Amino acid sequence: QQPVQSPQAVILREGEDAVINCSSSKALYSVHWYRQKHGEAPVFLMILLKGGEQKGHEKISASFNEKKQQSSLYLTASQLSYSGTYFCGTPEMDSNYQLIWGAGTKLIIKP
Amino acid sequence: ETGVTQSPTHLIKTRGQQVTLRCSSQSGHNTVSWYQQALGQGPQFIFQYYREEENGRGNFPPRFSGLQFPNYSSELNVNALELDDSALYLCASSYAGSNWEQYFGPGTRLTVT
């Protein structure tokens, strides 16, 4: 079942903070976060694993609450380059990383 | 190290025709996943190939089929095209065992008229 993302869209001024949420109706074993800029391919941001381990390339933080079956992505002191649509993906099964993606959160950063 | 490439970039087909999309994996990756992304939506998982075998399939009809070759490149074939097949088709490669971080190609924009 598709994870639910909120908000659907957010507009910020450069330097402001944002939180993007991803919730699932089923148990989560991991959450994957990607960002897609307009007309481009999705780019990997971070994987959060059960047990608290995080793997990511960028200085973006996230939390993973297994009990609440949700994850939140924290964008602090946002830069213009953070603009894009953020997707969370959850595996179809616990040992299989075929991702089911949320509908996305569109983030617009204004100077 | 070359990234994931896809061809063609754009394609226009007529309803009922057949289409083949191609994807070259990133060097060292042995898994390829294909996604369909409609405008303004998140990617929808079509199927995944690992070591030339289909490793899982999403909710897509049998007219969507695929192949993975020994060099881990891949094809997506769609028969009997329908208007609703118009979308961006993305392939993503990954290495099994690396927590499946996926690297996406730029996509093929398919328009069915």
pLDDT tens across A34-66, in order?
999 988 889 988 888 877 667 775 668 888 888
- For residue A43, give the 3-state DSSP assignment: strand
Where residue B113 falls among pLDDT bands split at 50, 70, 90? very high
Q: Do B103 and A102 make contact, defined as CB atoms within 8 angstroms? A: no
Q: Which of A2, A41, A49 sits opposite B106 (nearest CB)?
A: A41
Statement: residue A95 has pLDDT above 60: no
Strand pairing report for B10-13 and B108-112: parallel
pLDDT at A83 over 90: yes
pLDDT score at A109: 95
C-beta neighbour count of A95 within 10 angstroms:
7
Which of A87, A98, A102 faces B56 most closely, judged by CB atoms?
A98
pLDDT value of residue A3: 92
pLDDT score at A64: 86
Whether the CB of A94 is below 8 Å from some CB of chain B: the reply is no
Question: How far is the CA of A73 from the CAs of A38, B2, B13, B48, in angstroms?
Answer: 20, 29, 39, 27
